[in-house]
Amino acid sequence: MALNLLTPSEIKAVSFLDSTQKSNHLPKLACGFVAKRKDLGASNSRRIICLVQTPPPAWPGRAIPELAAKKWDGPKPISIVGSTGSIGTQTLDIVAENPDKFRIVALAAGSNVTLLADQVKTFRPQLVAVRNESLIDELRDALADADYKPEIVAGQDGVVEVARHTEAVTVVTGIVGCAGLKPTVAAIEAGKDIALANKETLIAGGPFVLPLAHKHKVKILPADSEHSAIFQCIQGLPEGALRRILLTASGGAFRDWPVEKLKEAKVADALKHPNWNMGKKITVDSATLFNKGLEVIEAHYLFGAEYDDIEIIIHPQSIIHSMIETQDSSVLAQLGWPDMRLPILYTLSWPDRVYSSEITWPRLDLCKLGSLTFKEPDNVKYPSMDLAYAAGRAGGTMTGVMSAANEKAVEMFIDEKISYLDIFKVVELTCDKHREELVSAPSLDEIIHYDLWARQYATGLQLTSSPVPV
């Protein structure tokens, strides 16, 4: 039975979204600050500046490499947290193709012992961790006949040891969810640069992680395609040159559906991405556009742009991975075939560019492609955008709560416990409730606490006509 919730057009009337409306009297949030509209004249009448203190961005609108001596000899030493997942395996593909540029010193995985054992035999890391402690004997058995045996550690503590391995210069963070936060924090405290593939590091942990990274002089390099595109476009910009960020989105499974038809959407419909095959969670996020809303928040934390200066554009071909506009109105874009290996490679090699063969890295042929098209996203079809911008402006623990509530709502939708339109309402209700306890400058423990709280609260919504928490 699905929750009897509001339609996308009705959602805007709920209190949490008041911070995105045109009223000059925005709600006072539980953390004690008031969101106010900044008067910038008629041409900027929608601009809203939230007065909550925000952490320093990873890259304040520009990226200029330091002319410091290398910290290593020979191939660059890399640790991977989440080596058997999509990000981890693609990173290892890059290392395999460029053994003169990169080498693996430590690997951590969750429970795929068979694949992890194969990776150990191929890349010969010094240290290996398996998060599922019950599988450590199975891993040792799988490596019994290997001619090389690394040190093996288990559990979350073992994953942390991989993240802060003494020789590693860069740590690739490929673990999904808040489980990746503690290893990432450990790597930062150990002075390791972060190849960031874990969204929760900034979406949930930004207020804590960014000051820590600045304290330890650690670079956070984005490994997802959109933020890598922005990062590539800001190379060498002078201070203050960035004017606007343009995040491109495929539009997902429902980009050509009329909004009135969304109440009929089934799980199978949401999983029919028009461009490629992905996991269920990210495919549904692409359909709802929550993936792009989360990327807006991540872009704010990475590059320091105000939320009014970050825009979403539907780009069905997914060739332009994102764009920036400079102060003189010039627009810079990064283009390429959809392939996660390129942004991963750039995080590992920056500021250098590594030659890639045409056999394994097809070059972009614009004449073969033909045309690129764009359209403005529909806020009625995609109420996730209003929710994400409102959460971002609230700041603190609100963004992590929104992300966790969305993850739980998508899980319930895939399990057919709620309808497609219910996803937006579950997230909105959870965020609205969290205003009572919002923490503007959270500790790591508070971030993890409210991540768990949001999942429990979203799960506890009654499946009745009156959607209030149990």
Who wins on pLDDT, 32 or 335? 335
Predicted local distance difference test score (pLDDT) of residue 175: 87
Residue 419: pLDDT above 70?
Answer: yes
Q: What is the DSSP code (8-state) at residue 24? A: S
- Separation of alpha carbons 298 and 315, rounded Å: 20
Q: pLDDT band at residue 239, thresholds of 50, 70 and 90?
A: very high
For residue 308, which amino acid is it?
Answer: D
CATH architecture of 395-463: Orthogonal Bundle (1.10)
The pTM (predicted TM-score) of the whole model is: 0.89
| Structure-token pair, residue 123 | 């890349």
Residue 380 has pLDDT above 50, yes or no: yes
Cβ pair 309, 244 in contact under 8 A: yes
Helices (H), 370-421: 384-394, 398-414
Mean pLDDT along residues 238-249: 97
- State both tokens at 461: 């919504």
Euclidean distance between CA atoms 467 and 470, whole angstroms? 9
**Residue limits of CATH 3.40.50.720 in the chain:** 76-222
pLDDT confidence of 373, banded at 50, 70, 90?
very high
Average pLDDT over residues 242-265: 96
Contact indicator for 189, 212 with CB cutoff of 8 Å:
yes
Residue 89 has pLDDT above 60, yes or no: yes
The answer, yes or no, to whether the previous bond of 150 is cis (omega within 30 of 0) is: no
- pLDDT-derived band at 463 (thresholds 50, 70, 90) equals very low
Check residue 278 and give its pLDDT.
80
Q: Which of the two residues, 424 and 18, has the higher pLDDT score?
A: 424
Q: How far apart are CA 210 and CA 195, in angstroms?
A: 14
321 pLDDT more than 50 = yes
Is the pLDDT at 423 greater than 60? The verdict is yes
Give me the mean pLDDT over the 331-342 stretch: 94
Neighbour tally for 115: CB within 10 Å: 16
Give just the sign of the alpha carbon dihedral 161, 164, 166, 167: positive
Coil/strand/helix, residue 311: strand
Q: What is the pLDDT of residue 52?
A: 58
Angle at the Cα of 10 from the Cα atoms of 267 and 467, rounded to 5 degrees: 65
In this predicted structure, what is the pLDDT of residue 383? Answer: 96
Buried b (16+ CB within 10 A) or exposed e, 222-240: bbbbbbbbbbbbbeebeee
Which neighbouring-strand residues pair with 461?
469
What's the mean per-residue pLDDT of the chain? 88
Task: Give the burial class of 452: count Cβ atoms within 10 A of its Cβ; 0-12 exposed, 13-18 middle, 19 or more buried.
Answer: exposed
The string of DSSP letters for 202-268 reads HHTTHHHHHHHHHHTT--EEE-SHHHHHHHHHTBTPPTT-EEEEEEEE---TTTTS-GGGGGG--HH
Report helix, strand or coil for 349.
helix
Q: Where in the chain is the domain with CATH 1.10.1740.10?
A: 395-463
Q: What is the topology classification, in CATH, of domain 76-222?
A: Rossmann fold (3.40.50)
What is each CA distance from 222 to 171, 202, 344, 379, in whole angstroms? 12, 11, 8, 27
Average pLDDT value for residue range 260-285: 91
How confident is residue 236, by pLDDT bands cut at 50, 70 and 90?
very high
193: confidence class by pLDDT, cuts 50, 70, 90: very high
Q: What was the pLDDT predicted at 268?
A: 96
Residue 307: predicted pLDDT: 97
- What are the pLDDT digits (tens) for 26-68? 233 333 323 333 343 444 434 444 445 689 999 999 999 987 7
373 closest CA partner among 310, 295, 296, 320: 320
Q: Is the peptide bond before 27 cis (omega within 30 degrees of 0)?
A: no
Q: What pLDDT is stored for residue 1 in this prediction? A: 42
Task: Work out the average pLDDT over 371-387.
Answer: 96
Is residue 7 very low, low, confident or very high in pLDDT (cuts 50, 70, 90)?
very low
Amino acid residing at 292: K
Query: Taking residues 199-209, what's their average pLDDT?
Result: 94
- The yes-or-no verdict on residue 5 having pLDDT over 60 is no
Q: Is the pLDDT of residue 244 over 80?
A: yes
Query: For residue 274, what pLDDT is reported?
Result: 80
Angle at which helix 155-163 crosses helix 181-189, to 10 degrees, equals: 40
Sorted by sequence, the CB contacts under 8 Å of residue 457 that are 6+ apart come out as 405, 430, 433, 434, 469
| Mean predicted confidence (pLDDT) in 198-221 | 95
Angle at the Cα of 252 from the Cα atoms of 247 and 288, rounded to 5 degrees: 85
Alpha-carbon distance 354 to 53, whole Å?
Answer: 39
Furthest C-alpha separation in the chain: 73
User: What are the tokens at 10?
Assistant: 């009705």
Weakest mean pLDDT among 227-236, 259-268, 349-358, 459-468: 459-468
Instruction: Provide the pLDDT for residue 15.
Output: 53
Measured CA to CA, the distance from residue 192 to residue 172 in angstroms comes to: 10
